[in-house]
Structure 1
Amino acid sequence: MTAIERSRTVAVVGAGTMGQGIAQVALLAGHRVLIYDINALLAADAVGFVQDRVERMAAKGRLDRAEAEDAIDRIASAAELAELAGAALVVEAVVEDVTVKRALFAALEEVVSPEALLATNTSSLSVTELAAGLAHPGRFLGLHFFNPAPLLPLVEVVSGSATDPAAADRAYATVLGWGKTPVRCADTPGFIVNRIARPFYAEAFAVYEEQGADPATIDAVLRESGGFKMGPFALTDLIGQDVNEAVTRSVWESFFRSPKFTPSLAQRRLVQSGRLGRKSGHGWYPYGPDAKAPAPHTAGPEDAPAKVTVVGDLGPAAGLLDLLEEAGIEVVDVEHGGPYIQLPGEGQLVLADGKTAIEFADVVYFDLAFDYRDATRIALSVSEDTSERTLAEAVGLFQKLGKKVSVIGDVPGMIVARTVAMLIDLTADAVARGVAGAEDIDTAMRLGVNYPAGPAEWHDRLGRDWAYDLLHHLDERCPGGRYAPSLALYKLGYAAGDEDEAADEAEAADADDEAGETE
């Protein structure tokens, strides 16, 4: 792969925040940069803004003074589109309107050479559709930077149906040379990040709509147990409820209203009421000088049981065994049956599996944690049939492990578990459909939205059939297709089952051989 030479000009069309950021990235990578906007004054202002940022970087010692002065001299505005004729790459960052963008690229084709790459920074429109009608659609692709472009490392390199692989390779190498982390993906609604991330918001909103927990508690559980940097309610308030819902609705419509991407009615009502988040002073949470942040539900202190029985393999929660012993709680292991933790009062503590507590006599479900040792909060789910003693023992047990405890309603799959399972399912489906490779998806989700692990990595950690089983149970309890496991996820679990069976057969054969040698 050959990157665009540093001696070549990079042009940016659109003088807004994203255009300025992309221009700054290309400029500091060593290119001459031209900024064009239909409003020439905005283009000139954008050049000034970028130059000021470069100057500030030099003043803070983050950039060599000579390099800064050289960069300041290499950026200029273009008064006419024709001035971009010598550009080797033109990146568009104008309004998200198909008609406007297509007209712009048609005009650019009349100006730049046939070898020049044309790229759109769109986050929601089809790259294939934008390329329709171009004389040279093979050199057209998407370069989706994340805001703020100078700081965030991820760039989605999107190939449309007509994109030449050589053009995608050249763009990938160029972005890599700029110090960014590019990931490849096909032209699909939402590309990687905005497609795969939908359940992070949707499942939290669904738990809220099902009266499972309030926003502050759901956010706290996803942060303090799931390992996510920010909860979905606080995050959408930061993004803007109107912006987040528009992306969700766009993906949903693009997938022909698939139940996998159904928007939230609660969020729709929030947008309709004008509560758009931080920018309006109120969203899920209130903002302003006198606003008080709501506190998550946290259970009061309870006594921990002195002894528990662990029945079967706890799977993703196996790390609790060491924590229990370190906390001084006596643990009796029973190999067969389960999996669950038997409490002294005969109640059971069960890892979220997509079922509900009401289905069992005296059960407390506990949620998935990214790392039970590092988690500072655990969610518990109970039904009206759960005894007070069992709940108290469950709360006390996790408090003894140093965790805060949030008791939520009897919601199948709870909070973290159902969110992670859905992320895994969408990832498996995207990989199977050729949207992107598992490694690129994991990279995109870690860097683009700061997840603690990529969904494919999480899938490997949790076990190949964990997500499938949980979603299968959820689908039985919440029919309609939203939670139906994808064929791709089914195949992954099936393949893993074959591998496990082969391993068991090999182990049995080895045991027979050893027995024969002994005899």
Structure 2
Amino acid sequence: MNEVTTIGILGAGTMGAGIAQVAVEAGLEVLLHDPIAGATDRGRDRIGGFLARKVEKDQLTEAERAAAADRLSTVGTLEQLAAAELVIEAIPEDLALKRDAFRRLDGAAEPDTILATNTSSLAVAQIASATAHPDRVIGMHFFNPVPLMALVEVIPGPMTDQAVVDSVAFLARLLGKTPVVAADTPGFIVNRVQRAYYLEGYRILEEGLADAATIDDTMREIGFRLGPFELADAVGTDVNLAAGTAIFEGFYGDPRYRPSLVQRRVVDAGRLGRKTGAGYYDYAADGTRGLPWSGITAHAVDAPRMTPHSAAQIEARILAAIVNEAASAVADGVASPGAIDTAMRLATNWPDGPLAWGERIGLGSIVRSLDAFHASVPDGRYRVTPLLRSLADGGESFFAPRS
């Protein structure tokens, strides 16, 4: 593959504009296009505004800002993006839309142009199969906000050429990011493992064992930047539900990934998180978190009356769930233990990777907790990953070679 000096970006919304911004700051030429009328110009203006604010904060000189702005060009058609050596698609998470875009890009681009998708939950293989050259299609999943988040998941499809993987990893480093290669499985690394963080919090609420604020405050006390409900509000409850549904379907309805009725209730009520001023919580005009929404409180009250969970019980359930899911990802060949822990630290700001944290707690303790949960809810959601049980039984580590 040729050295990448010019990239095309399809989609000028939050993600596309963020990718374009870091690219022009890194010295790359960028071609930007969005098929929605007016969106390309809005994206360009958004990038210009962010660059100007960096000058105000003494993070860029005026000369650096002007040079970066000059490296950004807008184009009027998707096909014009094909002049770039690499095109990154950052349009909505709709498989039909993405397949059509890749079909058109594939027809317009030179044979050695790399086509990357910023999908967070769709299979790269399904997108690549819309092209005649799936060997040049790859996932390049950035995290929001792009200028601040250090991780890029690099996801080869089953036909992706190794040279494409190497080129995309090199580009990620050029953009100041840490690339982590992940297998093309539902949720890749971060969205898969983080699903356990959300879902166990939702289950505790559904069971009437703690309210959202208690769960969130408990997790922040042990070092998580945001609790599961606060995090869903920050991401967008609609986005979170859509990603969770895609992962659940990708695993053929495995109960471990089943979305919560609480999620559906919040989304159906139009409470989409901080962006609408209301989600699991109500938010003041200055963004201060208010009380949990009474709609989810009422849902939890419908649950059978049980003794409320202590902070230690909340911690134990959520930590066991994320360690088990991370172990499952290792067992499925998604990535190495070290790569999974690196990805989770960088993308989520967790205080440690889940596997290292699990070893500090003790893998045997994690397994015993999961077995106890499974005995009370034997639908499969708490089944222990065989690799985790094997390591616990043998006193072994995820990070040491197995004999």
TM value normalised by structure 2: 0.89
The percent identity for this pair of structures is 43
Distance 1:98 1:241 in 2: 20
Distance 1:68 1:3 in 2: 28
Q: CA deviation at 1:133?
A: 3.5
Cα distance, 1:288–1:140 mapped onto 2, change above 3 Å: same
Alpha carbons 1:4, 1:174 under 8 Å: kept: no
Alpha carbons 1:3, 1:171 under 8 Å: kept: no
Count of aligned pairs between the two proteins: 385
Residue 45 in structure 1 maps to residue 42 in structure 2: yes
Distance 1:164 1:54 in 2: 35
Q: Which residue of 1 aligns with 2:268?
A: 272
Structure 1 vs Structure 2 CA RMSD: 2.5
Cα distance, 1:420–1:43 mapped onto 2, change above 3 Å: same
Alpha carbons 1:143, 1:157 under 8 Å: kept: yes
Cα distance, 1:88–1:446 mapped onto 2, change above 3 Å: same
Q: Which residue of 2 aligns with 1:393?
A: none
Cα distance, 1:99–1:498 mapped onto 2, change above 3 Å: closer
Pick aligned residue for 1:434 from 305, 311, 333: 333
- One-letter amino acid of the structure 2 residue matched with residue 138 of structure 1: D
Q: Which residue of 1 aligns with 2:359?
A: 460
Q: CA deviation at 1:30?
A: 0.7
Q: CA deviation at 1:239?
A: 2.5
Q: CA deviation at 1:410?
A: 5.4
Which digits, 9 at most, give the CA deviation of each residue in 1:124-175, with x for residues without a partner?
Answer: 2110000004221111101111111111111111111111122111101110
Distance 2:96 2:115 in 1: 16
Q: CA deviation at 1:121?
A: 0.6
- One-letter amino acid of the structure 2 residue matched with residue 253 of structure 1: E
- One-letter amino acid of the structure 2 residue matched with residue 422 of structure 1: A
The structure having more radius of gyration, on CA atoms, is 1
Residue 241 in structure 1 maps to residue 231 in structure 2: no
SS in 1 for 2:224: coil
Which digits, 9 at most, give the CA deviation of each residue in 1:376-395, with x for residues without a partner?
Answer: xxxxxxx99xxxxxxxxxxx
Which structure has greater helix proportion? 2
Unmatched runs of 5 consecutive residues or more in structure 1: 296-382, 385-407, 500-519
Residue 262 in structure 1 maps to residue 258 in structure 2: yes
Q: CA deviation at 1:9?
A: 0.9
Q: Which residue of 2 aligns with 1:483?
A: 382
- One-letter amino acid of the structure 2 residue matched with residue 288 of structure 1: A
Distance 1:185 1:159 in 2: 7
SS in 1 for 2:180: strand
Residue 451 in structure 1 maps to residue 339 in structure 2: no
Pick aligned residue for 1:9 from 6, 16, 25: 6
SS in 1 for 2:112: coil
Distance 1:73 1:287 in 2: 39
Pick aligned residue for 1:207 from 204, 208, 212: 204
Distance 1:269 1:54 in 2: 39
Alpha carbons 1:157, 1:184 under 8 Å: kept: yes
Distance 1:135 1:292 in 2: 50
- One-letter amino acid of the structure 2 residue matched with residue 4 of structure 1: E
SS in 1 for 2:48: helix
Q: CA deviation at 1:289?
A: 5.3
Q: CA deviation at 1:209?
A: 1.5
Pairwise mapping of residues 350-499 of structure 1 onto structure 2 (< 5 A)?
409=308, 414-496=313-395
Alpha carbons 2:218, 2:314 under 8 Å: kept: yes
Pick aligned residue for 2:30 from 13, 33, 46: 33
Residue 76 in structure 1 maps to residue 83 in structure 2: no
Cα distance, 1:217–1:3 mapped onto 2, change above 3 Å: farther
Alpha carbons 2:210, 2:309 under 8 Å: kept: no
Task: Tell me whether 103-112 or 16-25 shows the greater mean CA deviation.
Answer: 103-112
Distance 2:289 2:56 in 1: 38
Which digits, 9 at most, give the CA deviation of each residue in 1:439-496, with x for residues without a partner?
Answer: 1111111111111111111122122322112111211122111111011211221332
Which digits, 9 at most, give the CA deviation of each residue in 1:90-117, with x for residues without a partner?
Answer: 0001122212211111111222211111
Q: CA deviation at 1:273?
A: 3.0
Q: Which residue of 1 aligns with 2:301?
A: none
Distance 2:285 2:11 in 1: 35
Distance 1:163 1:276 in 2: 36
Alpha carbons 1:210, 1:411 under 8 Å: kept: no
Pairwise mapping of residues 128-143 of structure 1 onto structure 2 (< 5 A)?
128-143=125-140
- One-letter amino acid of the structure 2 residue matched with residue 71 of structure 1: A
Distance 2:211 2:41 in 1: 48
Unmatched runs of 5 consecutive residues or more in structure 2: 293-304, 399-403
Q: CA deviation at 1:283?
A: 2.8
Residue 109 in structure 1 maps to residue 106 in structure 2: yes
Alpha carbons 2:100, 2:130 under 8 Å: kept: no
Q: Which residue of 2 aligns with 1:231?
A: 227
Q: CA deviation at 1:422?
A: 1.2
Q: Which residue of 1 aligns with 2:298?
A: none
Residue 186 in structure 1 maps to residue 183 in structure 2: yes
Q: CA deviation at 1:250?
A: 1.6
Distance 1:72 1:173 in 2: 23
Distance 2:208 2:81 in 1: 56
